Structure 1
Amino acid sequence: MRSVGDFQLEQRMTRYSQFIPRLYNFCLSLGFEPGRIMPSRAFCSDENQGFPIILIAKHFGTFPFNHGRVGGIVATDRHGPHAHHGQDMVIIQASHVGYDPDTEQFGSYRRLQTSHCESTSDCGKIAGVSSWYLSEYHFACENILVKRRNGEIMVTIDNQLLDGRRQEGLVLCLESMVQQDEQGEYLILRALSTSKMFLATAAFAERFSLLEEGEAQVIGSALSAELFSFERNIQEAEEGHDHLERNLLPYMPQIVTTNSPALIAAQINSQVEFDRAFRTITQDPAYHGKRLLFISGINIDISPRVGQIFPLTKFVPWAAYFQDSDGSRVTYEQDELWELLSEQSTDNPDQIDLDGAIQQMEYLEEVVIESPGEQ
């Protein structure tokens, strides 16, 4: 699997007001026919995802099909219905993350409809899933003590972190942290009431070379991602309640050790979902013989100022898959996809006037719907 490091954020962001017309023109360059394109979105259900949806409707000329579950999970059982609603198909998948321009922090979003315009977690699903893992990590950071004694680095670890009977929790890679004897047993120097003391390996001790004799400190951020993993019982079926957690579990050490857990989690989820949904799309007979573009990325929801109706949402593309009606297909990686989108015009002569279209409905002749009555 790819690592999160493959996802480039800087110089890959674009406003939705520019992304959607460029995406539409990119579709035309691939042979899509204006007026016959059925867009679909796999977004989270948050209200701040509405502005991108409005722009999709404006530029593609129809309200997009709903392909998404909470957290930006692709509902693959909706491929068939989507395919039946148009000639040429587009699917846009995006996990989302909030951004506060005042604090320059990811993960929160100002809700203007709340009593006092409070900032809350965004995406809430990602935050909810991540909270248990962050709590486990912070416990470990505060309950592993490192001390220099007689020139050696001693590591004292809370017994909870050493309990091999636990079915859930943070699991230390002890072999990278503490020394073993010839039989592979960890050398316990001292058994305390709630913890045990070990002698650090040379590589781990090197991290604390500046620690002075007799000085002690909690491990803190020195507990880096390669030093632990997580065990978690997730029984839910694919695309169920715990699907997002299943996507993120293998990468949780990377997520909890970063300065922006919500951002990294959104990136990883989009990476995993693109790979998973791509395989279901290529195998679904409903899409055979159709043009289809599947594009994945993240939506960055920039908190609105008071008086601002919509957020300044930005899109960061990750990858795209295109299949033509003759069965030919190609996958675009992030750099190539960015270049292809950047080449497209932001001018879309086919875009619709939403206000005019809504007003037009007011002047149409009334259609009287009669009850079918009793049979």
Structure 2
Amino acid sequence: MYNVRDNVQASLGHFRMENYWFRYSNFVPRLFNWCVELGFEPGKIMPSRAFCSDESQGYPVILLAKHFGIFPFNHGQVGGIMACDRHGPHAHHGKDLVIVHSSHVGYDPEAMTFGSYRRIQTANHRCSSNCGKIHATLEWYLREYEFACQNIFVDMRADHCRLTLDNQYLSRSRERSLVLHLEKMVEHQHDGEMLPIAMQSTSRTFIATDAFFQHMRWFFNEGTGKQPLGDALLPEYFTYHTSLREDTDGSRQLEQNLIGAMPWIVTSAEPMLTAAQANTQAEFDRAYRSISQDSAYRGRNLLYIAGLHVDISPSPEQAFVLTKFIPWAAYVQLKNGERYVLEQEALFARLQACSADNPQQLGLDAAIQMMEDEEEIYLHLPY
């Protein structure tokens, strides 16, 4: 998705969070009522969820079952990736169809930080990464960025800047690496060559471009000597090179979704949050094309909605996580042939206009009791 470098930041910036969220107990009845307004038949709607496998995603599943009256089909894979090969079975299981997709990120209300979640089933209620798949995917990229921040040095002079680069950033032989946009950073000769003004055992020193020099004046004072580039290594100055060609089973789809946006993710104040946003955007783009072209959904009423789950860490006394849903985009396909996409602002307004009261919701306690009563009847069957 993110193959045009200059557009990544703009795309991520369009994902609004503040004042664009619903409590899940408020979101799902609105979603149900929207479906009814679109002409979906209550009692014949088959919901599907495309969530991560994390236990923190259980409460949204319960609420979908409560309001749609059926346990939702499962389109989800670890990391908030949609299994696009499951459209046929999903379509087979209902008359009208709903898919709710979401990436997720934890939130610690005490520290007011994203990316961790208190797991109350552990012995000491410990906090750990959430989403764990996103965390594991980012780990190498964050380490590479931190190493670059500490091993690229700037020496500001009155009229120019000297830039010392670790030798690995001058090599093209590494199969997986952080790659600097040297054309923006280092002065080149007319023949395109870069000539070092000093050579060390593990690094080379160059004269920086005038544009880089002028930019670094915001971060460094002249005459302070050689200093690590640090946070001044902004996303416009680097990218990552890695091969995802060996991904034959979709296990690295999350990494494929994030790789183009990775410079903005690793430099973000909240990398886990930014990665979850980017994954939601990329997955909607990918899954929308799959859903809209799948013959199993042709001529059917279908609503596909994508967003972000914010899992607020529960206290030890809480049974479930408090989940907030931030909608990103939705695709509507009706059996009369009408098709359209709603972007975030219009989607939020559409959901907000729907009632949060659903008189057709299932009473879970009563339904479970009924099943237990039915079970008594079959206790004496010969099997």
Give the TM-score, by structure 2 length.
Answer: 0.94
**2:295: which partner in 1?**
285
Select 1:187's aligned residue among 195, 200, 203.
Answer: 195
Select 2:260's aligned residue among 245, 250, 253.
Answer: 250
Give distance in 2, aligned partners of 1:40 and 1:239: 22
Give distance in 2, aligned partners of 1:314 and 1:130: 23
CA shift in 2, pair 1:238/1:289, >3 Å: farther
User: What fraction of aligned residue pairs are identical, expressed as a percent?
Assistant: 53
**2:125: which partner in 1?**
117
TM-superposed CA distance for 1:214, in Å, is 4.2
Please give the per-residue CA displacement for 1:106-130, whole angstroms capped at 9, x wherever unaligned.
1000000111111000000000000
Give distance in 2, aligned partners of 1:295 and 1:149: 54
**1:58: which partner in 2?**
66
Q: Any conservation in 2 of the 1:177–1:200 contact (CA below 8 Å)? A: yes
Query: 1:1-375 counterparts in 2 under 5 A?
Result: 1=1, 3-149=11-157, 151-209=159-217, 210-237=220-247, 240-364=250-374, 366-367=377-378, 369-370=381-382
CA shift in 2, pair 1:238/1:316, >3 Å: farther
Task: Supply the RMSD in Å over aligned alpha carbons.
Answer: 1.3
TM-superposed CA distance for 1:164, in Å, is 1.5
Give distance in 1, aligned partners of 2:66 and 2:246: 37
CA shift in 2, pair 1:27/1:295, >3 Å: same
Please give the per-residue CA displacement for 1:217-271, whole angstroms capped at 9, x wherever unaligned.
1101110001001011223446621111111111111110101111111111111
Give distance in 1, aligned partners of 2:292 and 2:247: 22
Give distance in 1, aligned partners of 2:236 and 2:79: 26
TM-superposed CA distance for 1:148, in Å, is 2.3
**What secondary structure sits across from 2:94 in the alignment?**
coil
Q: Any conservation in 1 of the 2:150–2:228 contact (CA below 8 Å)? A: yes
Letter in 1 for 2:356: T
Give distance in 1, aligned partners of 2:103 and 2:51: 6
TM-superposed CA distance for 1:369, in Å, is 5.0
CA shift in 2, pair 1:199/1:81, >3 Å: same
- Count how many residue pairs are aligned between Structure 1 and Structure 2: 371
Q: Any conservation in 2 of the 1:157–1:196 contact (CA below 8 Å)? A: yes
Letter in 2 for 1:219: L
Letter in 2 for 1:278: Y
Q: Any conservation in 2 of the 1:322–1:330 contact (CA below 8 Å)? A: yes
Q: Any conservation in 1 of the 2:44–2:94 contact (CA below 8 Å)? A: yes
**What secondary structure sits across from 2:103 in the alignment?**
strand
Please give the per-residue CA displacement for 1:62-104, whole angstroms capped at 9, x wherever unaligned.
0000001101111111100000100000000000000000111
